[in-house]
Amino acid sequence: MTVATSRRSVLLGLAGAAVAGGAQARGWEPSRPVQFVVPAGTGGGADQMARVIQGIVSKHALMRQPMVVVNKAGGAGAEGFLEAKGARGNPHMLVITLSNLFTTPLATGVPFNWKDLTPVTMMALDEFVFWVNANSPWRSVQDLIAAAKQQRLKIGGTGSKQEDQIIAAAITKASGAQFTYVPFRGGGEVAVQLVGGHIDATVNNPIEAVTHWRSGALRPLCVFDAKRLADTGKMTETQAWSDIPTCREQGLDVDYLMLRGIFMPAGVKPEQVAFYEGLMAKVRETPEWKDLMQQGAFNTTSLTGEAFGAWLAREDERHRSLMQDAGFLANPA
Amino acid sequence: MEEIGLLMQGFAVALQPGNMLLMLVGVVLGVLIGVLPGLGGANGIAILLPLTFAMPPVSAVIMLSCIYWGALFGGAITSILFNIPGEPWSVATTFDGYPMAQQGRAGEALTAAFTSSFFGAFVAVVMITFVAPIVAGFALRFGPPEFFAVMFLSFACFVGMAKGSPLKTLAAMMLGFLLAAVGMDTVTGQLRMTFGSEEMIRGFDFLVAVIGLFGISEILCSIEEGLHFRGQKAKIDLKVVLRTWAELPRHWFLAIRSAVIGCWMGITPAGATPASFMSYGVARRMSKDPAGFGQGRIEGVVAPETAAHAAGTSALLPMLTLGVPGSPTAAVLLGGLIMWGLQPGPMLFVEQKEFVWGLVASMYLGNVAGLLVVLVAVPWFAAILRVPFPIIAALILTVCAIGAYTVSNAEFDIVLMLIFGIVGYVMKKLDYPLAPLVLALVLGDRTEEAFRQSLLVSNGDLGIFFHNWLSGGIMAAGLALLLWPALAWARGALAGGPRAQAA
């Protein structure tokens, strides 16, 4: 295991060096400040990640030109995506995406598709956990589903027809239990509504709810991933992230991960894409980035190039079918 | 008391020379940010956040929170001098602050604004120091129905505020709700009233509208009235500060009431903007001379500024204890905490004592520093009014345009700002009040959201707003305030007959 890991990191290092060297050999580098578009508001998960990347790039002097974070949150991110779509061929623009890359065009009918952008790299995947209030009688997913079949329960989440509601709809599809979905503005607010007992369950990301778990106010039931979370450090007296069962283990066949990826506008040159690929590979090697990954219990899968493209095509199809099932499409086929 | 000991340690951290310097830099930057409309505390902190990446967390948060205090102070300056609210929570300050400046009392208005800001913040910090855990628990009781009840109360406090026809007030308010509804509907995830236009997706930002409605329309009015600012002749010296201070203690009860409103609204967390409106509305309602409000009464400056600053400060409490930001600026600070490896929420007070108490101590010191900086600068701020109108008007227009652009980096917003300027001018000429429009625009979508969330939870049953003593009590208070003018009018009509009706 250790050998394999170290060999892989050597390979990664070589690949990174090769990419960086290649970029230098071809000589492309940003000649103007790089605009980093966040298709979400300030303070959210995508915004935080963009600002951490910006901080890392400037602290470690990874790029000569500065990086400027710009929030374009209008219309569930449609504003940011349309701006990037309109900036065809501009190598001084990056976009960080969340699941609204797929959901916003599907739910609103805004003329945009992920193929209007050039995929650069997947930075990480964000996990989702099924949470209930620690005072509730539900200790397992089965308890909750059984209760939901007796009496309609309320699931709170961020936004409407976005990832949280898609997961809620998938839970209904997999278990047959009906829920009322109540949309709120942000993940932190959702977690507090659950602590206050105003809703019955949430599908918060780990980083949004971890502090309430540790203070004993919330209870995690399962994680919406094919395998358990990697981090084995104790978060509460008795539990680590890795102690939370997967939903599949609990008999609820739902998994969902949210993309944290970097894109460029369409029509940019390969050496320009290679530059940013190399840059982001260096960002992922820094201790600050690793801290963020550990704090948020992120899934640190990273993909580039064709593998990333194939992943995106698959996810796009999956979102379309999930949203079709839930009746969330703006223009049903 | 354990808190006192911890706070003293916090002072020791905050009083290190390096941190003191950061505090001063933060306050000055914050005042500048507050003065520029559109830049705003949230944007300012977001821009500066990466710079703090290399600092220790305590120093970083001290500097950023001082920017926040500075912005709270600075927002009042342009409201009073030019009728342009630099920040959403200073809109209510324009109602009486600007008339005061026009009467040559700009220095007095600024001193009153800064002093009451300081008082509000001080009350809030004392509250955070001693009763944080109890108060944080209270915030947990606020679900969607309670939140709607608070919003309802804000509107109720405000009804009957305008001097003109109630129907015009209602029309202006409805226009505000209409504008607030444009863009993303967060409850259904659909776009509303965008008519297929990409520019409309953003909806109408409150700040763009306010810069136009207040700032641009004011310039248009000034041009019509002969290219000068009234209030140029103001006598300006530092003594005005002392004179105003001699007068302020008379309004102690008003200040305490406003601070309480502010703290409450900051924790719930409804934020500084509704707090300032509610406090102004209540002050007017409780005053012996409500008609004098809007003509340049010092109470009309003290009430909203105390409440806004109390709310802005106490908004940090739910952020620290629950991880829920009470304001957009607090949301960016929250992102900063996570970046420095601190997890906001109930465990912060337990595990990061040095950090928390360093921050609380910096709240005390930052506010003192902020007050000194802005008070010393009062004569200079007031002196801006002496610059000839053609020069200053061009500068204001430029700053307004930059401000409108900065809100979301969109050129279209500058056009919108100009359109709102003309709308504002026409409304003034036709005696339609602007305040209800602004109130509905800033609180409209959150009120609607809370209303619909409540109905989702209750399956459409309106009874949910009275389902417990908390939301029921607030709703009842709101209804009483709302019906008060109607009751008073009915009583007057019965007692005085047709004569009273005609009046």
Cβ–Cβ below 8 Å for B53 and A59: yes
Closest alpha carbon to B234 in B380, B125, B41, B403: B380
Q: How many residues does chain A have?
A: 333
Contacts of A313 (CB under 8 A, 6+ apart): none
Q: Is the pLDDT of residue A1 over 60?
A: no
Q: Which of B187, B339, B347 sits opposite A48 (nearest CB)?
A: B339
How confident is the model at residue A12, as a pLDDT?
44
Mutate to test the interface with B, among A60, A164, A215 (most CBs of B within 10 A): A215
Cβ–Cβ below 8 Å for A74 and B183: yes
Q: Is the pLDDT of residue B226 over 80?
A: no
Closest alpha carbon to A75 in B202, B412, B205, B192: B202
How confident is the model at residue A16, as a pLDDT?
44
**Under 8 Å between Cβ of B130 and B316:** no
Q: Is B292 on the interface with A (CB under 8 A)?
A: no
> Using N-to-C axis directions, what is the helix angle for B328-339 and B57-82, rounded to 10°?
160
User: What is the spatial order of strands in the sheet that A129-133 belongs to?
Assistant: A179-184, A153-158, A201-202, A129-133, A218-223
What interface predicted TM-score (ipTM) does this complex get? 0.85
CA distance, residue B140 to nearest chain A CA (Å): 5
Q: Is the pLDDT of residue B221 over 80?
A: yes
How confident is the model at residue A323, as a pLDDT?
92
On average, the pLDDT of chain A sits at: 88
Instruction: Specify the higher pLDDT residue, B406 or A43.
Output: B406
Closest alpha carbon to A326 in A125, A95, A157, A188: A157
Instruction: Specify the higher pLDDT residue, B353 or A329.
Output: A329
Under the banding of pLDDT at 50, 70 and 90, the label for residue A43 is: low
Q: Say whether both A122 and A133 belong to one domain.
A: no
On average, the pLDDT of chain B sits at: 83
Structural Rg of chain B based on CA atoms = 22
CA distance, residue A179 to nearest chain B CA (Å): 11
A-chain residue closest to B407, CA distance: A71
Tokens representing residue A298 in the block: 């992120």
The proportion of chain B whose per-residue pLDDT surpasses 90, expressed as a percent, equals 20
DSSP state of A181: E
Tokens representing residue A101 in the block: 């890359």
Q: Say whether both A262 and A183 belong to one domain.
A: no
Q: Is B46 on the interface with A (CB under 8 A)?
A: yes
Cβ–Cβ below 8 Å for A198 and B457: yes
Tokens representing residue A218 in the block: 């919330």
Which residue type, as a one-letter code, is found at position A79? E
Closest alpha carbon to A177 in A204, A209, A200: A200
Mean of pLDDT values over A254-267: 94
Q: Name residue, tokens 């704090």.
A: A295
Tokens representing residue B360 in the block: 């609380």
What does the angle CA B43 – CA B47 – CA B51 come to, to the nearest 5 degrees? 145
| H or E stretch at A97 | strand A93-97
Instruction: Specify the higher pLDDT residue, B493 or B476.
Output: B476
- On the 0-12 / 13-18 / 19+ scale of CB atoms within 10 A, B342 is buried
Examine the fold and report which residue of A243, A275, A303 is the final residue of a domain before the chain moves on.
Answer: A243
How confident is the model at residue B97, as a pLDDT?
92
CA distance, residue A64 to nearest chain B CA (Å): 16
- Alpha carbon of A252 to those of A145, A177, A248, A259, B155: distances in Å? 9, 11, 5, 22, 46
Omega prior to B325 cis, within 30 of 0: no
Which residue type, as a one-letter code, is found at position B129? T
Mean of pLDDT values over A109-124: 94
Cβ–Cβ below 8 Å for B345 and A79: no
Is A37 inside a domain boundary? yes
Render A98-155 in DSSP notation, one character per residue: -THHHHHHHHH--S--GGGEEEEEEEEEE--EEEEETTSS--SHHHHHHHHHHS-EEE
Mean of pLDDT values over B358-375: 86
Closest alpha carbon to B477 in B149, B160, B256: B149
Render A34-77 in DSSP notation, one character per residue: EEEEESS-TTSHHHHHHHHHHHHHHHTT--SS-EEEEE--TTTT
Q: State phi, psi for A216 to the nearest 5 degrees.
A: 85, 15
For chain A, how many structural domains are there in total? Answer: 2
Tokens representing residue A62 in the block: 């990874």
Examine the fold and report which residue of A187, A218, A243 is the final residue of a domain before the chain moves on.
Answer: A243
Cβ–Cβ below 8 Å for B456 and A182: yes
Residues 70-129 on B with a CB inside 8 Å of A are none
Q: Say whether both A86 and A144 belong to one domain.
A: no
Q: Is B201 on the interface with A (CB under 8 A)?
A: yes
What is the count of residue pairs from A and B with beta carbons less than 8 Å apart? Answer: 156
Q: Name residue, tokens 């910006």.
A: A54
How confident is the model at residue B394, as a pLDDT?
87
Which residue type, as a one-letter code, is found at position B18? G
Which residues of chain A lie closer than 8 angstroms to B188, CB-CB? Answer: 160-161
Under the banding of pLDDT at 50, 70 and 90, the label for residue B114 is: very high
Q: Is the pLDDT of residue B401 over 60?
A: yes
CA distance, residue B88 to nearest chain A CA (Å): 17
Distance CA A314, CA B29 (A): 48
Under the banding of pLDDT at 50, 70 and 90, the label for residue B433 is: confident
As a dihedral over the C-alpha atoms of residue A242, residue A246, residue A250, residue A255, rounded to 10 degrees, the angle is 170
Cβ–Cβ below 8 Å for B335 and A48: yes
Under the banding of pLDDT at 50, 70 and 90, the label for residue A225 is: very high
Under the banding of pLDDT at 50, 70 and 90, the label for residue B138 is: confident
How confident is the model at residue B235, as a pLDDT?
58
Instruction: Specify the higher pLDDT residue, B131 or A163.
Output: A163
How confident is the model at residue A13, as a pLDDT?
44
Render B410-423 in DSSP notation, one character per residue: -THHHHHHHHHHHH
Domain that holds residue A133: 129-243
Give residue-wise pLDDT tens across range A121-149: 999 999 999 999 999 999 999 999 999 99
Which residue type, as a one-letter code, is found at position B75? G
Tokens representing residue B313 in the block: 């400060």
Which residues of chain B lie closer than 8 angstroms to A135, CB-CB? Answer: none
A-chain residue closest to B194, CA distance: A75
Mean of pLDDT values over B430-448: 87
- Alpha carbon of B474 to those of A319, B146, B332, B481: distances in Å? 42, 8, 30, 11
Distance CA B143, CA B137 (A): 13
Give exposure, B230-255, as e/b (b: 16+ Cβ within 10 Å): ebeebebeeebbeebeeebeebeebb
- Alpha carbon of B114 to those of B29, B172, B384, B402: distances in Å? 16, 30, 18, 26
Mean of pLDDT values over A252-258: 94
A-chain residue closest to B202, CA distance: A74
Distance CA B501, CA B165 (A): 14
Q: Say whether both A230 and A182 belong to one domain.
A: yes
Is A295 inside a domain boundary? yes
CA distance, residue A41 to nearest chain B CA (Å): 9
Q: Best-predicted range by mean pLDDT among B93-107, B328-342, B370-384?
A: B93-107
Is A99 inside a domain boundary? yes
Q: Which of B54, B318, B339 sits opposite A52 (nearest CB)?
A: B339
A-chain residue closest to B348, CA distance: A211
Cβ–Cβ below 8 Å for B341 and A295: yes
The proportion of chain B whose per-residue pLDDT surpasses 70, expressed as a percent, equals 91
**Under 8 Å between Cβ of A167 and B193:** no
Q: Say whether both A164 and A48 belong to one domain.
A: no
Cβ–Cβ below 8 Å for B408 and A295: no
Cβ–Cβ below 8 Å for A191 and B323: yes
How confident is the model at residue B128, as a pLDDT?
86
Distance CA B396, CA B212 (A): 12
How confident is the model at residue A242, as a pLDDT?
93
How confident is the model at residue B257, as a pLDDT?
93
Q: Is B190 on the interface with A (CB under 8 A)?
A: yes
CATH of the domain at A188: 3.40.190.10
Which residues of chain A lie closer than 8 angstroms to B316, CB-CB? Answer: none
Q: Best-predicted range by mean pLDDT among A68-82, B149-163, B298-312?
A: B298-312
Q: Is B197 on the interface with A (CB under 8 A)?
A: no
Q: Say whether both A93 and A149 belong to one domain.
A: no
Mean of pLDDT values over A303-326: 93
Q: Which of B46, B324, B339 sits opposite A192 (nearest CB)?
A: B324
Tokens representing residue A262 in the block: 């970097």
How confident is the model at residue B339, as a pLDDT?
66
Q: Say whether both A187 and A238 belong to one domain.
A: yes
**Under 8 Å between Cβ of B200 and B416:** no
Structural Rg of chain A based on CA atoms = 20
A-chain residue closest to B137, CA distance: A196
- Alpha carbon of A243 to those of A105, A139, A221: distances in Å? 37, 14, 10
How confident is the model at residue B451, as a pLDDT?
95
Which residues of chain A lie closer than 8 angstroms to B339, CB-CB? Answer: 48, 51-52, 55, 292
How confident is the model at residue B163, as a pLDDT?
61
Cβ–Cβ below 8 Å for A198 and B143: yes
Determine which of A88-97, A305-314, B182-191, B421-430 has the lowest per-residue pLDDT on average: B182-191
Q: How many residues does chain B have?
A: 503
How confident is the model at residue A22, as a pLDDT?
44
Q: Is B196 on the interface with A (CB under 8 A)?
A: no
A-chain residue closest to B43, CA distance: A42
Is A115 inside a domain boundary? yes
Contacts of A323 (CB under 8 A, 6+ apart): A103, A106, A107, A161, A166, A329
Q: Say whether both A154 and A93 belong to one domain.
A: no
Cβ–Cβ below 8 Å for A212 and B408: no
How confident is the model at residue B176, as a pLDDT?
92
How confident is the model at residue B279, as a pLDDT?
92
Q: Say whether both A45 and A82 belong to one domain.
A: yes
How confident is the model at residue B104, as a pLDDT?
83
**Under 8 Å between Cβ of B55 and B17:** no
Residues 389-408 on B with a CB inside 8 Å of A are 408
Q: Which of B144, B346, B456 sits opposite A212 (nearest CB)?
A: B346
Residues 340-359 on B with a CB inside 8 Å of A are 341, 343-348
Is A333 inside a domain boundary? no
How confident is the model at residue B502, as a pLDDT?
40
Which residue type, as a one-letter code, is found at position B313? T
Q: Say whether both A16 and A86 belong to one domain.
A: yes
Mutate to test the interface with A, among B147, B184, B334 (most CBs of A within 10 A): B184
Under the banding of pLDDT at 50, 70 and 90, the label for residue B38 is: low
Q: What is the 3-state secondary structure (H, E, C) of B198-237?
A: CHHHHCCCHHHHHHHHHHHHHHHHHHHCCCCCCCCCCCCC
Distance CA B27, CA B11 (A): 18
Q: Which of B335, B343, B459 sits opposite A211 (nearest CB)?
A: B343
A-chain residue closest to B408, CA distance: A72
Mutate to test the interface with A, among B51, B138, B140, B406 (most CBs of A within 10 A): B140
- Alpha carbon of A224 to those of A250, B354, B499: distances in Å? 11, 36, 72
Closest alpha carbon to B403 in B135, B74, B165: B74
Under the banding of pLDDT at 50, 70 and 90, the label for residue A295 is: confident
Distance CA B185, CA B194 (A): 11
Q: Name residue, tokens 């417990």.
A: B468
Is A248 inside a domain boundary? no
Q: Which long-range contacts (CB under 8 A, 24 or more apart) does A309-312 make?
A: A309/A119, A311/A122, A312/A114, A312/A119, A312/A259, A312/A261
Which residues of chain A lie closer than 8 angstroms to B456, CB-CB? Answer: 154, 180-182
Instruction: Specify the higher pLDDT residue, B268 or A319.
Output: A319
Closest alpha carbon to A45 in A128, A166, A168, A135: A128
Is A249 inside a domain boundary? no
Distance CA A99, CA A252 (A): 22
Determine which of A1-10, A287-296, A299-308, B96-105 has the lowest per-residue pLDDT on average: A1-10
Q: Say whether both A66 and A14 belong to one domain.
A: yes
Which residues of chain A lie closer than 8 angstroms to B185, CB-CB? Answer: 160
Residues 457-486 on B with a CB inside 8 Å of A are 457, 459
Give residue-wise pLDDT tens across range A48-80: 788 889 888 888 889 988 888 888 888 888 999
Extents of the domains making up chain B: 2-502
Name the maximum alpha-carbon separation found in chain A.
Answer: 66
pTM > 0.95: no
Closest alpha carbon to A113 in A319, A333, A325, A306: A319
Tokens representing residue B330 in the block: 């607090």
Tokens representing residue B220 in the block: 């248009």
Mutate to test the interface with A, among B68, B339, B343, B470 (most CBs of A within 10 A): B339
Cβ–Cβ below 8 Å for A196 and B188: no
A-chain residue closest to B342, CA distance: A295
Mean of pLDDT values over B39-63: 75
Mean of pLDDT values over B177-192: 88
CATH of the domain at A80: 3.40.190.150
